[in-house]
Amino acid sequence: MLETVSEEPETETSNVPDIVVGRLPLYLRALSEMAMAGKLFTSSQELAAALGISSAQIRKDLSHFGEFGKQGTGYAVLELRDHLRQILQLDREWPVIVIGAGHIGSAVANYSGFAQRGFRVVAVFDNAPERIGTSIGAHRVKAMSELGAVIAQWRVQHAMLTVPAEFAQPVADQIIVAGIKAILNYAPTTLAVPPQVHVEYIDPVLHLQRMTYYL
């Protein structure tokens, strides 16, 4: 089984479509699960069966980053997993802040899965006086006035935004000025941000609405 890619792979990240980057974490998760199970080699067909993505699409996606796989053996699970971790810059730990200490923010701050995958929540912030100073797990909720100092201390670039929709844009503006370059937005609203700031959206209602089409 031959698992190779184009002879002239694209290595510039600017040339990689965002939809391709979005699938890389899925490949990484599948490979990590295989590695934990002790599996040494896999194929694009096996990954396709596990993820519901065509094997041709998987090979095309990987072709943006180089040649992977060997004649007769397929992909070395650990090697490809480590390559994807490097591509996604997950071979280091990223500090993350949570903005909003309500129900969603508390659940997010307490989620242990972030640390297992290279992200460490270093602080939780809120503007409500009744929440400032309270504890969420190992974190004491900080006032937004402390934002700049924490971002500078930890060199934070990631923020998870768990505030109500009506506050999302002004809070996003504030954290961007403070140095945040990537926002995971749980608020059900679209943010206007500068080109250099990347935003991903988590809105369960949108996914539910999409699923009802198929029912």
pLDDT digit string, tens, across residues 119-166? 999 999 999 999 999 999 999 999 999 999 999 999 999 999 999 999
Which residue carries 């995958």 as its tokens? Answer: 117
Could you tell me which of 17, 44, 13, 20 has the C-alpha nearest to residue 31? 44
Quote the CA–CA distance of 47 and 34 in Å, as a whole number: 10
Buried b (16+ CB within 10 A) or exposed e, 40-77: ebbbbebbbebeebeeeebbebbbbbeebbeeeebbbb
Please name which of 120, 122, 145, 121 lies closest in space to residue 132, comparing C-alpha atoms: 145
Domains, the chain: 13-87 (1.10.10.10), 94-208 (3.40.50.720)
* Cα–Cα distance measured from residue 189 to residue 53, given in angstroms and rounded to the nearest whole number: 29
pLDDT at residue 14 in the model = 59
- Average pLDDT, rounded, for the chain: 91
The whole-angstrom separation of Cα 18 and Cα 192 is 18
CA 180, chain centre distance (Å): 15
Measured over the CA atoms of residue 51, residue 53, residue 55 and residue 57, the dihedral's sign is negative
Residue 12: what pLDDT? 45
Confidence (pLDDT) at 7: 33
Q: How far apart are CA 85 and CA 31, in angstroms?
A: 11
- The pLDDT value recorded for residue 11 is 41
Residue 15 has pLDDT above 90, yes or no: no
pLDDT greater than 50 at residue 4: no
Does 5 score more than 70 pLDDT?
Answer: no
55-62 helix and 18-36 helix, angle to the nearest 10 degrees: 110
Higher pLDDT, 66 or 180: 180
Over the stretch 80-112, which tens digit does the pLDDT of each residue have? 999 999 999 998 999 999 999 999 999 999 998
Say what the pLDDT of residue 73 is. 76
Instruction: Give the bridge partners for 135, in sequence order.
Output: 140
